[in-house]
Homo-oligomer: A and B are copies of this chain.
Amino acid sequence: MISEKMKGLVANSSVIRAMFEEGKRLSAIYGAENVYDFSLGNPNVPAPDAVKEAAIEILQTEDPVKVHGYMSNSGYEEVRAAVADSLNSRFGTSFTENNILMTVGAAGGLNVILKALLNPGDEVLVFAPFFGEYRSYVANYDGVLKVVPANTETFQPNLAAFEEMLGPATKAVIINSPNNPSGVVYSEETVKRLAAILEAKEKEYGTSIYLISDEPYRELAYDGVFVPYLTKYYHNTVVGYSFSKSLSLPGERIGYLVLPDTLDDAEDVICAANVANRILGFVNAPSLIQLAVARCLDEKTDIDFYDRNRKTLCEGLSACGFSFIYPEGAFYLFLKSPIGNDAEFCAKAKEYNLLIVPGSTFGCPGFVRIAYCVSYETICNSMQAFEKLAAFYGLAKK
């Protein structure tokens, strides 16, 4: 009796649930410390103490009717102003509170902007590899997801294919850098070329093409790599941000959309996003945590923790003989499967108690994702398992 649209998703969800059950089963047999679960993007680093301190101070000193009450659907005005100021000081932008819409995480924000923009049949382009949930977000509004094939050499967007695939029905493009699952950061050169292509196509077709930049990993960039702020390169850019990873608050569901005045029909888009936030049932981003993050905009997560994991994992996997793109950001490593069938490779990995996710999930078969937001011990202890896995496939040790 459930909706037709949900039937396939429910069937698929059972598969994912089965994977979780398998993890639990393995833990029961071998002990949790001997099962190496690299499947989830759940930060292992605790939120900075400043978040706790801010939340407690707000609870102790501010009026509960305000702290827990309704505010504008777009969020507290002072929170939005604080976010705008922070962006302006870091990126040289000139946003005001009117350009900021506080959202229920980045997932909420992406749904809000897609609801605001899409008519049934509108095309949304994504670059493989991409976060698999985009499929559902676009389908929610009867959009048509089109996947630009990966450039598996560099994992920078494949702009030649992109240019060909852009058409008069293209309403939006979603990009995600630092990228989940590849860990690649899109270079400024890539961004400039991407913007130039979009501008040319907008002119050619007389349409508006919105670039939606999904940026939960913005703050997770290593070795000082430059992560361009996209509103500065292309007028029709909407940024979706989340504090899930930058402040380790994934369960709190707090993020924001940036809706610049340079958008085509900016006033309508801002109003539509505001209405969409209300009618999709979010109503507003959770209130206490809005006030708390506004006081923690200069806080940083412990990037050294992830960086140590990254380096140890890369060294270890490289020594085993595996191939991969060296990750510059986020906390994912995208490994080349030694066999074409990435699902089969993941199944084999599980025999060594290694839980990893097939690249097919991200529109990029032949690769697998390893989420290294785990304890350092898990990285170190898993190495003997990766060694056995490499040996099974006859990879040459380095």
Contacts and interface: CB of A to CB of B under 8 A. Distances in A.
Contact of A59 (B52, B107, B118, B283): B52
Interface in A94-115: 104-105, 107-112, 115
A282 B104 contact: yes
Interface of A: 1-6, 9-10, 13-14, 40, 42-47, 51-52, 55-56, 59-60, 63-65, 67-71, 104-105, 107-112, 115-119, 133, 136-137, 140-141, 208, 210, 248-254, 264-265, 268-269, 271-272, 274-276, 278-289
Contact of A249 (B4, B68, B111): B68
A285 B288 CA distance: 14
Nearest to A103: B281
15 contacts: A2-B265, A3-B141, A3-B272, A5-B119, A43-B65, A51-B64, A68-B251, A104-B104, A104-B282, A133-B279, A136-B279, A250-B283, A252-B287, A253-B283, A288-B289
Nearest to A122: B3
Contact of A2 (B69, B105, B116): B116
Contacts of A272: 2-3, 6, 9-10
Contacts of A275: 6, 9-10, 13
B59 A3 contact: no
A268 B10 CA distance: 7
A64 B42 contact: no
A70 B40 contact: yes
Contacts of A269: 1-2
A110 B283 CA distance: 12
A111 B281 contact: yes
B286 A250 contact: no
A281 B110 contact: yes
A82 B106 CA distance: 29
A2 B108 contact: no
Contact of A55 (B4, B51, B55): B55
